[in-house]
């Protein structure tokens, strides 16, 4: 059942669990003797550490850093694969980012802790981008996939200024993700003016007040809204427009009236 005001996502629970699991570091996977016999072996010890829904929201925020934040230089330098990351600046310069296949952290700094006087986007990000571009040419990292939202996450279009559901009048509407039940339910109060059109995906049905228009499959579309109309009120045809008068008929009618005066 779709949740009001958004589109629920149904992802792979196995993938979501993997992304929210902590693996203890392994120093040795196995010890093999000269005769090929495994003398000792170990396997990773894992445990869940984060709700997969919360984990996905964090990944979504870090993707936005590459789209519109301090790490837009990643895209400008030609790395276009789905990725997320964060710049960091202290005395040193940092950038950490990842795809569905590979995570890489770059630190640039001085070993005496002197201030580098460069931020993460200037010093560390270019190194990270070049490394990731080359690494993802290799077979092991080539098949990058998008990050999949797990069950319990809903996406809605909002106005970034008000944080409310976007209307057709919002100039900068964008898609955001929320835990189901925490998404905004009110339409933007800053951009209520102007005509609000229904979405082209499906014809709008008459509704009382501004209402979300259903998208294919019964999913509500919070961006498309329809103008208010009284329920059951039939649309009225415009009044008929009279054809323009014939000048010849007007002239004839005037002469006839003058004749009538002198008869």
pLDDT score of 19:
55
pLDDT at 44: 86
Residues 6+ apart with CB under 8 A from 49: 20, 21, 22
User: What is the per-residue pLDDT for 56?
Assistant: 94
Which pairing describes strands 153-158 and 7-9: parallel, antiparallel, or unpaired?
A: antiparallel
pLDDT of residue 179: 95
Per-residue confidence in pLDDT tens, the chain, 263 aa: 233 345 555 544 434 334 578 888 888 889 999 999 999 999 889 998 999 999 999 999 999 999 999 999 999 999 999 999 999 998 999 999 999 999 999 999 999 989 999 999 999 999 999 999 999 999 999 999 999 999 999 999 999 999 999 998 999 899 999 999 999 999 999 988 544 433 333 333 333 333 333 333 333 333 333 222 323 333 344 444 445 555 555 455 555 655 555 55
Domain spans, the chain = 51-142, 153-225
Q: How many residues are there in the chain?
A: 263
């Amino acid at each position: 059942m779709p949740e009001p005001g958004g589109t629920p996502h149904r992802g792979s629970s196995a993938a979501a669990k993997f992304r929210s699991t902590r693996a203890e570091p392994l120093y040795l996977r196995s010890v093999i003797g000269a005769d090929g016999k495994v003398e000792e072996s170990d396997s990773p010890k894992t445990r869940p550490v984060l709700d997969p829904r919360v984990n996905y929201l964090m990944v979504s925020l870090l993707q936005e850093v590459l789209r519109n934040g301090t790490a837009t230089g990643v895209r400008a330098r030609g790395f276009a694969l789905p990725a997320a990351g964060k710049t960091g600046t202290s005395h040193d310069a940092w950038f950490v980012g990842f795809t569905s296949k590979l995570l890489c952290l770059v630190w640039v700094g001085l070993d005496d802790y002197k201030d580098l006087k460069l931020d993460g986007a200037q010093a560390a990000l270019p190194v990270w981008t070049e490394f990731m571009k080359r690494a993802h040419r290799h077979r092991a990292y080539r098949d990058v996939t998008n990050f999949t939202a797990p069950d319990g996450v809903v996406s809605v279009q909002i106005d970034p200024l008000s944080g409310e559901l976007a209307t057709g009048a919002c100039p900068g509407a964008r898609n955001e993700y929320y835990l189901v039940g925490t998404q905004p339910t009110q339409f933007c109060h800053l951009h209520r003016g102007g005509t609000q059109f229904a979405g082209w995906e499906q014809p709008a049905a008459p509704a009382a007040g501004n209402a979300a228009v259903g998208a294919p499959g019964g999913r509500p579309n919070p961006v498309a809204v329809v103008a208010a109309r009284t329920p059951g009120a039939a649309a009225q045809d415009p009044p008929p427009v009279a054809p323009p008068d014939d000048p010849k008929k007007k002239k004839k009618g005037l002469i006839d009236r003058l004749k009538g005066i002198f008869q």
